[in-house]
Structure 1
Amino acid sequence: MFTNKVSLAEASQQLSQHPKEFISLFQRGNLEVELYKPHLVDKQTPHDRDEAYIIASGSATFELEGNVTEVETGDFLFVPAHAVHKFSSFSEDFSTWVLFF
């Protein structure tokens, strides 16, 4: 049985000691899992792979190709490869799991 676990607390601790706003935590095949916590402004640009976000903590406004929605802890978002997207108006405790595939 596969039992690999990364807790939000552990991931947040690792990210707090990392110089970037994201940290890669797991890779297998074409799946990569990161924790992302933007600081003041979401600076990301479109990615070459599809991705999914699962909001780990806090809330934000999310914009995908001009469509805007409010997101909060537990919400799931899908972003196709090359799509323009960003988070804004995020709470201080905002963080999100990112799954690239």
Structure 2
Amino acid sequence: MKNLFEYAVPTHGEWFKTLLQNDNVTIEVIVSSDTPEPKVYNQPHDEAVLLIDGEATLELQGQEITMRPGDFLHIPAHTPHRVLKTAKGSRWLAIHTKEALC
């Protein structure tokens, strides 16, 4: 058994840990510092993120989206997005799928 709150908060950027993975799905926990990397992601697969704790602002298709605990966001494949800001210790559950979610 794993507890998503046992992972330490990084001093910079984000920390990723794969929890489960098979040929079609990857589930990972992400722990954020208060200084996210300004990297733009453009992935070949769908991603769904659930913010478990903290607060985060993402940029998705030119729109800023603020997420709070319990918020869920679907990011379709090939959609450029980035994390603009995060509260220190924000925790996410990310689900990456080979097949489209919607």
Give the CA deviation at 1:24.
0.9
Give the CA deviation at 1:48.
1.1
Map 1:48-59 to 2 at 5 A. Answer: 48-59=44-55
> Post-superposition, which runs of at least 4 consecutive aligned residues in structure 1 deviate over 4 A?
none
**RMSD (CA atoms):** 2.1
TM-score w.r.t. the length of structure 2 is 0.76
Pair 1:9 & 2:5 matched: yes
Question: For this pair of structures, how many residues does the alignment match?
Answer: 92
Is the strand fraction higher in 1 or 2? 2
Contact 1:8 1:56 (C-alpha < 8 Å) held by counterparts? no
Pair 1:77 & 2:73 matched: yes
TM-score w.r.t. the length of structure 1 is 0.76
1:46 maps to which residue?
Answer: 42
Counterpart of 1:93, as a letter, is: G
Structure 1: gaps spanning 5 or more residues:
none
Contact 2:32 2:88 (C-alpha < 8 Å) held by counterparts? no
- Give me the whole-angstrom Cα distance separating, in 2, the residues matched to 1:97 and 1:33: 7
Give CA-to-partner distance per residue, 1:57-94, whole Å, 9 cap, x none: 10011111111121011100000111111122210121
Give CA-to-partner distance per residue, 1:33-61, whole Å, 9 cap, x none: 01122441233521111000000210011
C-alpha change, 1:52 and 1:62, in structure 2 (3 Å) is same
Is the helix fraction higher in 1 or 2? 1
Counterpart of 2:85, as a letter, is: S
Structure 2: gaps spanning 5 or more residues:
98-102
Pair 1:36 & 2:39 matched: no
2:59 maps to which residue?
Answer: 63
